[in-house]
Structures are given as structure tokens and as C-alpha cells.
């Protein structure tokens, strides 16, 4: 087990240095590599395969709900970006500008899209004439660019991958329903497929998307108690429709402005996976998005019949799970450590004795629990154990979140908890920007969201003591 130890020793313990632990995992689990392109990352095959699984699940769900994929140009002319005032103020400071094509300066600078509301609006203005053209439910998978100063793999990079849904509706009600529907798609995806519980809620005015009427969010808690915004869904009302003149002739023969939404999820989701489930042995992946769900490790593979049987078992289970065999000449101990690092949910060990008994050993990644299973029962047992693991991951994350969520009633408490106890802080708020800014300054927390379906517990703002309007989750965030 010398190799095993060596591999594990290379990761910093998360209790010692959480930031370094994270950085170690993204490198050692072969998720990313750095390049000479500052602030950007190379997503390696194992990391990209996780993203492909995320895409595949969500793309199917979007299409079931009637959305269609399109592809917009990656460039936005400066005048187009400038069309909606709040939007350009939000994004202009962090866009990359193309100024030359070949050796010639461009007549007008183009920014590399930081998000594509303006392009979709221009297109929709072209397409939409009548109520018969509505709703329009478009989505695109692409990369976007925001010129961040401080970057970290997956969590904040100058270029990142995402999907952006952009929809147009006849009425305000329909737009609001779409916004909330898509938030729920993300919430379900986080909870069911990623095994990460989320708080659903609305962002404050300060934290909402540039140009939106309302932004909704799903907020997840990481191992270190910090919040991670998991995905957002925005209701734009008819603000952009006015700026871009997007009108339709309604059944009553009146010209009306369209109502608009957008919603997105990004590769930072992979960062959330790492920090919600990972441990000191590496990544822990929920089965739905794991590139390899079962790794088959032959034991004493030089002995006659072992490799043949291991290959046979791998092929057999590949009909119902994503399985792979590692028949390299590394030791089983090295392989165990390697696939623990990569977060493979289940390990299947098979040696001469197992074969003689027509069984194998299954080992769960999360708690190393062992199961001795007949080779004839893998088709029922593997999915069962994977489902148990998924539930255990979710429950562990939920318990941690419960244990690390604090309710405070006054400013002193808030400051103390924020200083001493990592986690979410529930507190009432008057709704004023001034208090939000003050809490940022004195307690170093930002508002994460005003949660859905939770009752308030007091009538005073935690900051100013004036009448409270909203219950808010506060926290430090990625």
C-alpha cells in the first residue's frame, strides 16, 4: 500500500487548508490544467465528462419543457451592448474587447459575450410579430467571458461554460411562471442529481442580475460553510422589450411588449460538487454525473481466469451503469487510491476467491462500506447501492447545512456568529440597501437570498432595528 499512501499524502487535508485542498483535488483528480492563458483553465477529459453528464441531463429536461437550442454569435457590437442601460453598467467593466480583425482595426469594437440578452433581444425583435409567435423558448450552450481579477478553477474563471435560456412571453404572469419553473428545474437537478440540498429564494435588489426585475437563485452550502450560488433564473419584465422594441400583435389587435426571462447554470457547478461532497481522499461524485460509476479492479490479476472474468463482468454491468476496468499493472492499492481520488462512487473488486464463490466485493466511495454480492445479482444490487450512496450524500450535506445554519436577532449576535461560525445566518431585514451594505462591512456577509416558503421570526431588522420586511439568508460566498 506504499503507492496508495503516497497518492493520498499529496492532498492537503481540508481541515488544515480548505483552499489548498480544493486546488489539490482539481489537479490530482485530473479535472483541470493551467495554461499560459491567464485566468482561464483547460478542462481535462475527466472534468469535461462530468460537464457532459450535467449537460445531457439538463438538456433533456429543457427540451421536455419545450425549449429549443440555438447558437448566437460570440461577439456583441458595443452599440448593441449599450442598448439597455442597467445591463451595460453591470457588464461593461468586465468584458473583453476585440478591436482588430487581422491587421485592421475594427470600425466598432466588439465584446466577447459575457451573457447574450442583447443578442437574443435583437433576434426576437426580428422574429416576433403576433401572439402566435409566443412563447419563444430558446436556450444555448456556449462559453462566455468575464474579465475577473481573482480567478479559481471552476469557481471563477475569465472564460466559463454555461447554458443560457432566453424566453419571451405574452404576459407578465407567464414570464414569472417560466422564471420559477426553471429555478425549480435547477433546484431539482441539484438535489436529485448532484445530491446537494439548496435554498431556493429571491435575490435582493443589490444582488440581482443587471437589468432584471427579479433574480431567483438556488444557494448551496459548501463543506467550509460558505455559500455557492448554484444557478439563477431572472425575470426581466418588459424592460429589454422596451429598449429593443419587441412587440407582438395580441388577439385583441393591440400591440403589446413581450415579457422576458433568462436562466443559467455554469461549470462552477463542478466546483460545488467538489466542495459539497469531497473528502480528504479526494473527489466524491454522485452517480448521476460520475463519468465512471463503477470501477472494476481485478485482484491478483496475473492468476488464470481473473482478467477474463473481470472483463466479462465489466461488459455485463456496462449495460446498466457506466463501468470501466483498470487492468493496468499498477497495484490494487494504487488503483483503490486513484479511483477514490477521482470520486468513482463504487469499486468492484474481483479476485480468484471471489470468482470461486461466484461473487465480488463492492465498496462505496463515501463511507468505504463493503458489500459481498453474487455475480448474478449485480443488476439489482449495483443500482440499489448507488441510490443509497446518493441518498447518503444528500443527507450528509443536509445535516451539515442544518448544523451550520444560525438564526440571529440582533447585530451583535450577527457579528459574533459571522466571525466565529462558518455557515448560513438567518436574520430579518428591513429591505434597505444601507443595512445590506453595513452588514457586508461589519459582519463581512452578503445576502444570499430571501428564501421561499420560510416564515419570518421577528419584526425588526437585524441591522437597524426598524420594521423588518424579509427573512434573509446571509453568508460568505464563493
* Segment 435 to 464, residues that bind its own copies, using CB under 8 A: none
**Does residue 68 belong to the site contacting its own copies (CB under 8 A)?**
yes
**Does residue 161 belong to the site contacting its own copies (CB under 8 A)?**
yes
CA triple 91-92-98, angle to 5 deg: 120
User: Environment class of residue 108 by beta-carbon count within 10 Å: exposed (0-12), middle (13-18) or buried (19+)?
Assistant: exposed
> Which of 25, 50, 58, 72 touches its own copies by CB under 8 A?
72
**Does residue 89 belong to the site contacting its own copies (CB under 8 A)?**
no
Nearest Cα to Cα of residue 373 among 359, 355, 384: 359
Nearest Cα to Cα of residue 221 among 443, 396, 366: 396
Nearest Cα to Cα of residue 177 among 57, 84, 263: 263
Nearest Cα to Cα of residue 322 among 290, 360, 283: 290
Nearest Cα to Cα of residue 275 among 405, 417, 400: 400
Site size toward its own copies, by CB under 8 A: 53
Stretch that binds its own copies, among 90-98, 183-191, 228-236, 270-278 (CB under 8 A): 90-98
**Does residue 253 belong to the site contacting its own copies (CB under 8 A)?**
no
Residues ≥6 apart with Cβ < 8 Å to 319: none
Nearer to its own copies, 65 or 392 (CB): 65
**Does residue 103 belong to the site contacting its own copies (CB under 8 A)?**
yes
* Segment 38 to 67, residues that bind its own copies, using CB under 8 A: 40-45, 48-49, 51-52
**Does residue 305 belong to the site contacting its own copies (CB under 8 A)?**
no
**Does residue 210 belong to the site contacting its own copies (CB under 8 A)?**
no
Nearest Cα to Cα of residue 11 among 281, 243, 216: 281
> Which of 127, 387, 403, 433 touches its own copies by CB under 8 A?
127
**Does residue 33 belong to the site contacting its own copies (CB under 8 A)?**
yes
Q: Positive or negative, the Cα torsion across 122, 127, 131, 133? A: negative
**Does residue 96 belong to the site contacting its own copies (CB under 8 A)?**
yes
**Does residue 162 belong to the site contacting its own copies (CB under 8 A)?**
no
Q: At what angle do helices 268-277 and 45-64 cross, to 10 degrees?
A: 110
Nearer to its own copies, 142 or 442 (CB): 142
> Which of 8, 28, 61, 77 touches its own copies by CB under 8 A?
77
Q: Kindly list the residues in this chain that would bind its own copies in the complex (CB under 8 A).
A: 33, 35-37, 40-45, 48-49, 51-52, 68-77, 79-80, 92-103, 110, 112, 119, 122-123, 126-127, 138, 142-143, 145, 147, 158-159, 161
Amino acid at each position: 500500500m506504499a503507492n496508495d499512501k503516497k497518492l493520498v499524502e499529496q492532498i492537503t487535508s481540508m481541515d488544515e487548508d480548505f483552499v489548498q485542498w480544493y486546488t489539490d483535488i482539481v489537479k490530482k483528480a485530473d479535472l483541470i490544467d493551467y495554461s499560459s492563458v491567464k485566468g482561464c483553465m483547460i478542462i481535462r477529459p475527466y472534468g469535461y465528462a462530468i460537464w457532459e453528464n450535467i449537460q445531457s441531463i439538463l438538456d433533456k429536461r429543457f427540451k421536455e419543457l419545450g425549449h429549443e437550442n440555438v447558437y448566437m454569435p460570440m461577439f456583441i457590437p458595443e452599440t448593441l451592448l449599450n442598448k439597455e442601460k442597467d445591463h451595460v453598467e453591470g457588464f461593461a467593466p468586465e468584458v473583453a474587447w476585440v478591436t482588430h480583425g487581422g491587421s485592421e482595426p475594427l470600425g466598432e469594437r466588439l465584446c466577447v459575450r459575457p451573457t447574450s440578452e442583447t443578442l437574443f433581444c435583437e433576434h426576437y425583435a426580428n422574429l416576433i410579430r403576433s401572439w402566435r409567435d409566443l412563447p419563444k423558448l430558446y436556450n444555448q450552450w456556449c462559453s462566455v467571458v468575464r474579465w475577473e481579477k481573482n480567478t479559481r478553477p471552476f469557481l471563477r474563471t475569465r472564460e466559463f461554460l454555461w447554458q443560457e435560456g432566453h424566453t419571451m412571453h405574452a404576459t407578465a404572469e407567464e414570464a414569472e411562471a417560466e422564471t420559477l419553473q426553471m429555478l425549480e428545474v435547477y433546484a431539482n437537478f441539484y438535489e436529485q442529481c448532484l445530491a446537494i440540498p439548496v435554498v431556493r429564494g429571491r435575490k435582493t435588489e443589490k444582488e440581482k442580475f443587471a437589468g432584471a426585475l427579479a433574480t431567483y437563485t438556488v444557494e448551496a452550502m459548501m463543506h467550509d460553510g460558505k455559500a455557492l450560488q448554484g444557478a439563477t433564473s431572472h425575470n426581466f419584465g418588459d424592460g429589454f422589450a422596451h429598449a429593443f422594441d419587441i412587440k407582438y400583435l395580441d388577439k385583441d389587435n393591440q400591440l403589446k411588449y413581450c415579457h422576458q426571462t433568462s436562466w443559467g447554470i455554469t461549470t462552477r457547478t463542478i466546483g460545488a460538487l467538489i466542495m459539497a461532497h469531497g473528502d480528504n481522499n479526494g473527489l466524491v461524485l454522485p452517480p448521476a454525473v460520475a463519468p465512471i460509476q463503477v470501477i472494476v479492479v481485478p485482484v491478483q490479476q496475473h492468476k488464470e481466469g481473473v482478467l477474463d472474468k473481470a472483463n466479462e463482468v465489466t461488459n455485463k454491468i456496462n449495460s446498466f451503469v457506466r463501468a470501466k476496468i483498470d487492468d493496468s499493472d499498477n497495484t490494487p492499492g494504487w488503483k483503490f487510491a486513484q479511483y477514490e481520488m477521482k470520486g468513482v462512487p463504487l469499486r468492484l473488486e474481483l479476485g480468484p476467491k471471489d470468482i470461486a464463490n461466484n461473487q465480488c466485493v463492492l465498496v462505496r466511495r463515501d463511507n468505504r462500506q463493503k458489500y459481498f454480492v453474487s455475480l448474478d445479482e449485480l443488476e439489482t444490487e449495483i443500482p440499489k447501492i448507488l441510490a443509497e450512496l446518493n441518498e447518503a450524500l444528500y443527507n450528509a450535506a443536509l445535516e451539515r447545512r442544518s448544523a451550520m445554519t444560525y438564526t440571529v436577532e440582533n447585530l451583535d449576535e450577527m457579528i459574533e456568529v459571522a466571525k466565529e461560525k462558518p455557515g448560513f445566518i438567518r436574520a430579518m431585514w428591513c429591505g434597505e440597501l444601507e443595512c445590506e451594505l453595513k452588514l457586508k462591512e461589519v459582519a463581512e456577509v452578503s445576502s444570499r437570498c430571501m428564501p421561499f416558503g420560510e416564515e419570518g421570526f421577528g419584526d425588526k431588522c437585524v441591522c437597524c432595528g426598524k420594521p423588518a420586511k424579509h427573512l434573509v439568508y446571509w453568508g460568505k460566498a464563493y
